[in-house]
Copies of this chain bind each other. A is one copy, B any other.
Amino acid sequence: MQNGEKTKDQAPRLSNRLFFRLYQCANMLHKTGTRALDAHHITTQQWAVLGALTRPAFEPGVAVGDLAAFLLVSRQNLTGVLTRLEAMDYIERTVDENDNRSRLIRLTTKGRSLWDEDMRPVISDFYDDALRGFSTEDRIHMIHYLDKMLRNFKDIDPEIQTDKKAAE
Contacts and interface: CB of A to CB of B under 8 A. Distances in A.
Interface of A: 7, 11-12, 14-32, 35-36, 44, 48, 51, 71-73, 124, 126-134, 136, 138-143, 145-150, 152-157
A72 B28 contact: yes
Given A18-B139, A21-B150, A22-B146, 4 more contacts: A22-B25, A28-B157, A132-B152, A141-B145
Contacts of A16: 51, 127
Contacts of A133: 148, 152
**Most chain B CB atoms below 10 A, which of A15, A36, A48, A136:** A15
B14 A140 contact: yes
B153 A25 contact: yes
A33 B20 CA distance: 12
Given A15-B131, A138-B145, A143-B14, A150 B25 contact: yes
Nearest to A146: B21
A126 B155 CA distance: 12
Contact of A26 (B22, B36, B142, B155): B22
Contacts of A157: 28, 31-32, 35
B71 A136 contact: no
B146 A129 contact: no
Contacts of A51: 16, 20
Nearest to A10: B136
A87 to B, nearest CB: 23
B145 A27 contact: no
Contacts of A145: 134, 138, 141-142, 145
Nearest to A28: B153
